């Protein structure tokens, strides 16, 4: 299996990253352990989570990190995983952002929950316009120099803000963002492709997009309003049920049939084939779901397949007047 480098860092990951957002939420601890074991045993190595997962659920913030930490302790497989987590989203009163003061608190809390001495990829979950980027860059650099973090990344950054953060780190000789985590899939293309993709390519920043399956829409199981009731995620899928979304599903049907795969596998394989992409993040709530997702890394789409998917997912351009 091809391993891909995250930017200029020495972190090498397989072309599919396991999303840990479901751990301790829609996947209980025992199920999460089975998924993590199967993922590593399947030849993959990168797991992405965040301190805020799952603050919206009864388990509360930190649940996913605690599950992963418990798995590290029970399995002894910490050295088989490239561990990525994020900070910056609100964890409680006064507990958010990218200030130097808060970053010191956040990293220690994550290390404790994860039961590890080092985080391989520590990411800004979202931009913090209230904190000078110089302060954030210096704080990240201190964490790297202290050996608590191996590399750093960004998530949900606008192109201009990512460029300025990279420039500050370069000018000051500080640790710089090695990755960007944007929203990107066959349906949600314009935000990333409009400028952020080129910034990442030009600066050798790895890209690990989230929502690679558009909240499950690209699996093909949601095709009508009635289908939305099949899952608690149905409400978030509704926006995809338009003419373009259905056109994408038809293209996925066509390509998946030709490749003897599933729509989900084709959708993720398309992301993997895009310029500058390290690999998409995808989550699973069962080993069976995971097996399907892992199959996407073994799927090879032809130029004709990619052209079919690109045509179906193209965003209409405004008419010239």
The per-residue pLDDT for range 106-124, each reduced to its tens digit, is 999 999 999 999 999 999 9
Query: Which pLDDT score, from 0 to 100, does residue 148 have?
Result: 98
Query: Which pLDDT score, from 0 to 100, does residue 321 have?
Result: 41
Annotation marks residue 184 as catalytic = no
* Angle in degrees, CA 21, 37, 40, rounded to 5: 90
44-68 mean pLDDT: 97
Query: Which pLDDT score, from 0 to 100, does residue 229 have?
Result: 86
84-99 mean pLDDT: 97
Total domain count for the chain?
A: 1
318 pLDDT band, cuts 50/70/90, is very low
Query: Which pLDDT score, from 0 to 100, does residue 320 have?
Result: 44
230-238 mean pLDDT: 79
236 pLDDT band, cuts 50/70/90, is confident
CATH number of the domain encompassing residue 162: 3.20.20.100
231 pLDDT band, cuts 50/70/90, is confident
161 pLDDT band, cuts 50/70/90, is very high
Q: Three-state DSSP class for 295? A: helix
Residue 61 has pLDDT above 50, yes or no: yes
Taking alpha carbons only, the member of 21, 18, 27 closest to residue 45 is 18
Taking alpha carbons only, the member of 157, 119, 159 closest to residue 140 is 119
Percent of the chain past pLDDT 90, that is, above it, reads 93
**Of 53, 187, 222, 240, which residue is the catalytic one?**
53
288 pLDDT band, cuts 50/70/90, is very high
**At CB < 8 A and 24+ separation, what contacts does 69-72 make?**
69/113, 69/114, 69/115, 69/116, 70/29, 70/33, 70/115, 71/32, 71/33, 71/36, 72/114, 72/115, 72/116
Note whether residue 265 is domain-resident. no
| Cross-sheet strand order for the sheet of 149-155 | 206-207, 177-181, 149-155, 119-124, 82-87, 46-48, 17-19, 281-282
Average pLDDT, the chain: 95
Residue 83 has pLDDT above 70, yes or no: yes
Query: Which pLDDT score, from 0 to 100, does residue 284 have?
Result: 96
String of DSSP letters for 209-263: -B-TTGGGGGGT---SGGGGGGSTTHHHHGGG-SHHHHHHHHHHHHHHHHHTS-H
Query: Which pLDDT score, from 0 to 100, does residue 203 have?
Result: 97
Percent of the chain past pLDDT 70, that is, above it, reads 98
Query: Which pLDDT score, from 0 to 100, does residue 235 have?
Result: 77
Pairing of strands 281-282, 17-19: parallel
Q: How far apart are CA 21 and CA 34, in angstroms?
A: 15
- pTM value? 0.96
Note whether residue 59 is domain-resident. yes
Query: Which pLDDT score, from 0 to 100, does residue 315 have?
Result: 82
Tokens found for residue 62: 């930190």
Note whether residue 156 is domain-resident. yes
Range of the domain at 38: 4-181
263, 218 contact by CB (below 8 A): yes
50-65 mean pLDDT: 96
Note whether residue 281 is domain-resident. no
Note whether residue 160 is domain-resident. yes
Query: Which pLDDT score, from 0 to 100, does residue 207 have?
Result: 98
Per-position b or e across 137-176, b if 16+ CB within 10 A of its CB: bbbbbbbbeeebbbbbbbbbbebebbbebbebbeeeebbb
The answer to whether the Cα torsion of 147, 72, 112, 153 is positive or negative is: positive
Query: Which pLDDT score, from 0 to 100, does residue 28 have?
Result: 97
Note whether residue 74 is domain-resident. yes
Lowest average pLDDT, out of 85-94, 185-194, 243-252, 309-318, goes to 309-318
Note whether residue 238 is domain-resident. no
Note whether residue 101 is domain-resident. yes
């Amino acid at each position: 299996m091809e391993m891909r480098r995250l930017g200029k860092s020495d972190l090498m990951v397989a072309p599919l990253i396991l999303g840990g957002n479901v751990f301790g939420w829609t996947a209980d601890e025992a199920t999460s352990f089975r998924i993590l074991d199967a993922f590593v045993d399947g030849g993959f190595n990168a797991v992405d989570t965040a301190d805020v997962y799952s603050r919206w659920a009864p388990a509360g913030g930190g649940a996913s990190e605690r599950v992963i930490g418990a798995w590290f302790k029970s399995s002894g497989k910490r050295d088989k995983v490239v561990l990525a987590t994020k900070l910056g989203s609100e964890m409680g009163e006064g507990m958010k952002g990218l200030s130097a003061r808060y970053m010191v608190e956040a990293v220690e809390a994550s290390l404790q929950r994860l039961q590890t001495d080092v985080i391989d990829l520590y990411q800004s979950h979202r931009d913090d316009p209230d904190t000078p980027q110089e302060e954030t860059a210096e704080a990240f650099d201190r964490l790297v120099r202290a050996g608590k973090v191996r590399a750093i990344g960004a998530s949900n950054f606008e192109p201009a803000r990512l460029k300025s953060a990279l420039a500050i780190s370069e000018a000051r000789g500080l640790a710089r963002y090695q990755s960007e985590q944007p929203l990107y899939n066959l349906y949600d293309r314009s935000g990333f492709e409009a400028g952020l993709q080129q910034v990442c390519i030009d600066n050798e920043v790895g890209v690990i997009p989230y929502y690679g399956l558009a909240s499950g829409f690209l699996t093909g199981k949601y095709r009508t309003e009635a289908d939305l009731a099949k899952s608690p995620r149905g409400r978030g899928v509704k926006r995809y049920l338009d003419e373009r979304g259905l056109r994408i599903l038809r293209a996925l049907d066509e390509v998946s049939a030709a490749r003897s795969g599933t729509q989900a596998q084709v959708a993720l394989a398309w992301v993997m084939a895009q310029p500058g992409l390290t690999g998409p993040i995808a989550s699973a709530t069962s080993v069976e779901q995971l097996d399907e997702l892992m199959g996407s890394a073994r799927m090879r789409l032809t130029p004709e397949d990619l052209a079919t998917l690109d045509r179906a997912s193209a965003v209409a351009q405004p008419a010239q007047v």
